[in-house]
């Protein structure tokens, strides 16, 4: 085997053999294939695609590059969830303890934000003392004692993906559906969970702007999961408007606590309950009642124990920004559009996100929404509030929000897009 012949095969729209895939993924992980060669192959895959068997084999090779976890010794079934990311997407925070309160174990391996989309680990690190990095033994102990854990994946899981992901990020090949699907699913399959529910988002604030492309990605990942023996289902959800009323880190934790206390924004509650029902059904617990676990406080109890198990203080106050800046509604009427991407970009510019993986983030930075599309607004009253520790960032955030919303005359009715667009299994 040699890298040039593998590149030429895909460049010329050929199908990679199992042997070629196994060799090139393994050799790249070992450093025997140069970055520029894998870059050329990734671009050829982006341009010419892969069939289902190729994607399945590529995913298997990524899994085989590292360790696989095993949760079969746990006394309860396991289920996990993965979101492709969006603005205000804090669903993992209330979802993991909620599903655990209903009888499943949730080994939730999460990531950090990059660009306009936030990261679950960044949000949780706004809780004083909480730590993202756990050993496998610590993770197992927390799952056994608490039922839920949210942490960073260990370096032993799919190391080929870690290396290839960094390369794709700087070579313009992130958008390839075969490479996205295999990246996500190799880690989730290696993680060893018994069931997986995918939240694949479409819209301006999502990675996949087009619903058709998002559906293709969802179908590819569902196929990969089931081909590898992992019970997998996907919900296709709308991300044209931010989820909930906050985009940031501590702001989203605060809103998640409202959900766990039995309140919170209707869209966050709706999606949390829908994903919980899918996870519990896939885990063999279809009769569990997640809505009851929110009402009776049992999900909040699991949250407190989960945070404490990872070194955090669930009773400590969350950080608040040193500076806030209201954005008033220019006219009275009905808000008909609030662009998710613009809100995410503003939050990023305020310090809630990072441009590079090594950049720090501000725990308290972000954007607070005072209205969602379909709701009335009053001229001069805050439409949004910007939060930041560095007020010199505010002008750039305001620039991101220009032309990001529409206000129609009073009495206007709005045909709303449903939050859940489709379900694939």
Find the catalytic residue in 57, 82, 116, 215. 82
In 170-297, alpha helices (H): 177-191, 211-227, 250-260, 266-282, 290-295
Is the pLDDT at 417 greater than 70, yes or no? yes
Q: pLDDT averaged over the chain?
A: 95
Plot region of 249 (φ>0 → left; ψ -120 to 50 → alpha; else → beta): alpha
Quick one: average pLDDT of 208-228? 95
Residue 115: pLDDT band by 50, 70, 90 thresholds? low
- 15: annotated active-site residue: no
CB atoms within 10 A of CB 51: 10
CA–CA gap between residue 285 and residue 76 (Å, rounded): 10
Q: Are 83 and 199 in contact (CB under 8 A)?
A: yes
CA–CA gap between residue 73 and residue 71 (Å, rounded): 5
Plot region of 415 (φ>0 → left; ψ -120 to 50 → alpha; else → beta): beta
Residues with Cβ within 8 Å of residue 141, at least 6 apart in sequence: none
- 305: annotated active-site residue: no
Q: Kindly give the pairing relationship between strand 106-109 and strand 231-238.
A: unpaired
pLDDT number for residue 313: 98
- 370: annotated active-site residue: no
Find the catalytic residue in 126, 176, 183, 240. 183
Is the pLDDT at 351 greater than 80, yes or no? yes
CA–CA gap between residue 319 and residue 323 (Å, rounded): 12
Q: Which domains does the chain have, with CATH numbers?
A: 3-49 (1.20.970.10), 80-309 (3.40.1030.10), 323-408 (3.90.1170.30)
Find the catalytic residue in 112, 187, 188, 387. 187
Residues with Cβ within 8 Å of residue 364, at least 6 apart in sequence: 126, 248, 249, 250, 251, 318, 319, 320, 321, 322, 387, 388, 389
Find the catalytic residue in 80, 89, 122, 161. 161
pLDDT number for residue 189: 95
Quick one: average pLDDT of 217-245? 96
Residue 166: pLDDT band by 50, 70, 90 thresholds? confident
| DSSP string computed for 96-122 | HHHHHHTT-BEEEE----BTTB--HHH
- Condensed to tens digits (0 to 9), the pLDDT of residues 52-65 reads 999 999 999 999 99
pLDDT number for residue 114: 64
CB atoms within 10 A of CB 356: 8
CA–CA gap between residue 334 and residue 343 (Å, rounded): 18
CA–CA gap between residue 294 and residue 304 (Å, rounded): 14
Of 37-51, 169-183, 373-387, where does mean pLDDT reach its minimum? 169-183
Q: Specify the DSSP element, H or E, that contains 200.
A: strand 195-202
Q: Are 179 and 45 in contact (CB under 8 A)?
A: yes
Distance, C-alpha 346 to centroid of its chain: 19
| CA-closest candidate to residue 27, choices 5, 4, 3 | 3
- 187: annotated active-site residue: yes
- 289: annotated active-site residue: no
Residue 170: pLDDT band by 50, 70, 90 thresholds? confident
Q: How many residues does the chain have?
A: 425
Find the catalytic residue in 76, 90, 168, 215. 168
Residue 135: pLDDT band by 50, 70, 90 thresholds? very high
């Amino acid at each position: 085997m040699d890298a040039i012949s593998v590149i030429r095969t895909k460049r010329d729209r050929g199908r990679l053999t199992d042997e070629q895939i196994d060799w090139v993924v393994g050799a790249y992980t070992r450093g025997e294939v140069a970055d520029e060669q894998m870059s050329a192959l990734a671009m050829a895959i982006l341009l010419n695609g892969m069939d289902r068997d190729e994607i399945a084999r590529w995913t298997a090779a990524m899994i085989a590059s590292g360790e696989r976890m095993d949760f079969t010794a746990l006394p309860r079934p396991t289920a996990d969830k993965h979101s492709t990311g969006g603005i205000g997407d804090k669903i993992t925070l209330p979802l993991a303890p909620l599903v655990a309160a209903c009888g499943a174990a949730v080994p939730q391996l999460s990531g950090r934000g990059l660009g306009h989309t936030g990261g679950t680990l960044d949000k949780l690190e706004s809780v004083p003392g909480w730590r993202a990095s756990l050993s496998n033994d610590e993770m197992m102990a927390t799952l056994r004692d608490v039922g839920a854990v949210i942490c960073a994946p260990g370096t032993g899981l799919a190391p080929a993906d870690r290396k290839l992901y960094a390369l794709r990020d700087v070579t313009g090949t992130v958008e390839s559906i075969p490479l996205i699907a295999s990246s996500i699913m190799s880690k989730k399959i290696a993680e060893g969970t018994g069931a997986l529910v995918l939240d694949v988002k479409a819209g301006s604030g999502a990675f996949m702007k087009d619903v058709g492309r998002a559906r293709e990605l969802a179908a590819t990942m569902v196929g990969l999961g089931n081909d590898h023996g992992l019970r997998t289902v996907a919900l296709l959800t709308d991300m044209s408007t931010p989820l909930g009323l906050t985009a940031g880190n501590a702001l989203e934790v605060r809103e998640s606590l409202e959900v766990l206390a039995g309140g919170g924004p209707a869209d966050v509650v709706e999606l949390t309950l829908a994903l919980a029902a899918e996870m519990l059904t896939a885990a063999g617990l279809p009769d569990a009642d997640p809505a009851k676990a929110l009402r009776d406080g049992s999900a909040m109890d699991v949250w407190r124990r989960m945070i404490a198990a990872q070194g955090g203080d669930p009773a400590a106050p969350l950080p608040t920004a040193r500076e806030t800046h209201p954005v008033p509604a220019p006219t009275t009427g009905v808000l008909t559009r609030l662009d998710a991407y613009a809100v995410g970009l503003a939050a990023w510019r305020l310090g809630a996100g990072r441009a590079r993986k090594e950049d720090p983030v501000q725990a308290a930075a972000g954007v607070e929404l005072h209205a969602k599309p379909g709701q009335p607004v009053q001229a001069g009253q805050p439409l949004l509030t910007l939060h930041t520790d560095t007020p010199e960032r505010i002008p750039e955030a305001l620039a991101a929000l220009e032309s990001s919303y529409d206000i129609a005359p009073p009495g206007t009715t709005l045909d709303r897009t449903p939050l859940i667009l489709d379900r694939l299994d």
